[in-house]
Chain A
Amino acid sequence: MTTLNATMDHMHMGNLASKAEPASKAASTSSRPLTQSDTDSDEKLLLDVGNHQSREAFNKLFERFSNKIFAHGMKITRNEQLSKDLVQEAMMTVWQKAPLYNSDRGNVQSWIFTLTRNRCFDMLRKQKRQPLCVSADDIWPAGMEDSESLVERDQGSLAVEFSNIERFLTQLPEAQQAVVEKVYLLNLTHEEAAADLEIPLGTLKSRLRLAMGKLRQLIGTSE
């Protein structure tokens, strides 16, 4: 169990480093062309849906993606009614899972594409009455690092070492430092911290998890 997590942290650290992010906001830049103003990027819209339940932002995402979701449905199922149902199912998932979106793992487009593919797969199997013991989310699991919730479990042991933590904190990537400071130094809830930093809740949780893993490593190796 422990080795597994260490490997994941390590992998992800590598990713972050290679992205060379200058500030905490950099990671939330979407890959959309720059012609689209920052306030209206897919990323910003999804953030408003996830952090502020914005109907207006959801409307815009719906306008932008419903035709594409429909087109994917037609390509795979060749059935208009199923494809319409897919638009509803996929956009419902966008709404419900918006707080879980993790911008460190991919962009909004790939997030919506993969959830569309997954809903489509499940719908089609249901329609064909095929066995449902394996679902799309089993076949295409979301980021492997999301499967473990280590943060809560390790809070205690980290608190004991608090005097040393600030020294270790500076060794984390800036984006992770920011998250740790909001949650552990300012005692904000995860939701408050995400809104404060203007990052998705899912991103916050993932960064927190990585930061705690890294801190644990640093503390472990310093003794």
Chain B
Amino acid sequence: MTTMKSNLHPSTEMLEKFVSGDLSVGVNLAISAHVEMCDHCKSAIQQIELRTADQWTNAESSSPAVYQADTASMIDSIIATPQLKEPIEEESEVGSIHMLDRSVKLPKVLAKAASEGLVWKQLGAGISQADVKIDEEAHCSFLYMKPGSQTPVHKHQGTETTLVLDGSMTDELGEYGKSDFIFRTNNDTHQPRTEDGCLCFSVLDSPLTFTKGLARLLNPINKLRFQRAVGSRVS
């Protein structure tokens, strides 16, 4: 995958949480896919890894439970296992998504996430969605907007992470292109639209609320859909 200049990146704080392993799986996927396309964040992450590891190594143990175990026998069993001389090579399947009018090559991590197959459903107004059931706490999906389409005005109750994978879109706050990473917190109301079509990966940690017109009728359905995607939890 060719790397390219990207305008919108995850914040430093998010990259730090990404490195220390504190984020949900869905957001991890979005950041990882962005980093694969972004040299800037790639090198930022190397620096953060060094810093984080340094803090980790030098931290006084604050954990009340001190690690106790029969270390000698554990070490025995470990060094009885063979060492690796070569990294384990995985045959990388080519991960592309075929849309009506285009075929998009996905970042590796998203290709993996989609490897069990995507089922597209129409949300209306030229927008389709395919869920990725991978995170019990967030709703992850691929969203495809046909050229010339626009989503109903909506509001977020939680956070919405969007990674643009192909094409472009605009909303009240700006214009976004391939590899742009957009993070929105609650109470941002917006209405993305696209001229030339747009494929995104989206992570929501709570359902969208549509705020205008007939689309409001979708709200109860949308909540239901979210609950289904998230799993068996009942509100």
Residues of A within 8 A of B (CB): 3-4, 7, 11, 31, 50, 53, 55, 58-59, 62, 66-72, 74-76, 80, 83-84, 87-88, 91-92, 95-100, 105-107, 109-110, 112-114, 117, 120-121, 125, 128, 130-131, 133-134, 138-142, 144, 146, 149, 191, 201
In the assembled complex, the CB of B115 is this many whole angstroms from the nearest CB of chain A, namely 6
**Once the chains bind, are A58 and B75 in contact (CB under 8 Å)?**
yes
**Once the chains bind, are A133 and B56 in contact (CB under 8 Å)?**
no
Main secondary structure of the interface of A (DSSP, over half): helix
**Once the chains bind, are A50 and B67 in contact (CB under 8 Å)?**
no
CA distance A11 to B39 in the complex (A): 9
**Once the chains bind, are B49 and A113 in contact (CB under 8 Å)?**
yes
Task: Identify the interface centre among B25, B62, B133: most chain A CB within 10 Å of its CB.
Answer: B25
CA distance A4 to B4 in the complex (A): 11
A4, A68, A146: the one contacting B2 at CB < 8 Å is A4
In the assembled complex, the CB of A39 is this many whole angstroms from the nearest CB of chain B, namely 19
Evaluate whether A109 and B136 lie within 8 angstroms (CB atoms) in the complex, with A55-B79, A133-B113 already known.
Answer: no
* Any A CB within 8 A of the CB of B191: no
Identify the 10 closest CB pairs spanning chains A and B, nearest first: A70-B67, A110-B53, A113-B53, A109-B53, A117-B21, A109-B57, A74-B63, A71-B63, A139-B32, A110-B49
User: What is the interface residue range for chain B against chain A?
Assistant: 35 or more
* Any A CB within 8 A of the CB of B71: yes
Residues of B within 8 A of A87 (CB): 67, 69, 74
* Any A CB within 8 A of the CB of B65: yes
* Any A CB within 8 A of the CB of B101: no
In the assembled complex, the CB of B179 is this many whole angstroms from the nearest CB of chain A, namely 15
* Any A CB within 8 A of the CB of B212: no
Residues of A within 8 A of B83 (CB): 50, 53, 95-99
Given contact pairs A83-B67, A201-B85, enumerate 4 new A-B contacts (beta carbons under 8 Å).
A70-B63, A109-B56, A133-B134, A141-B108
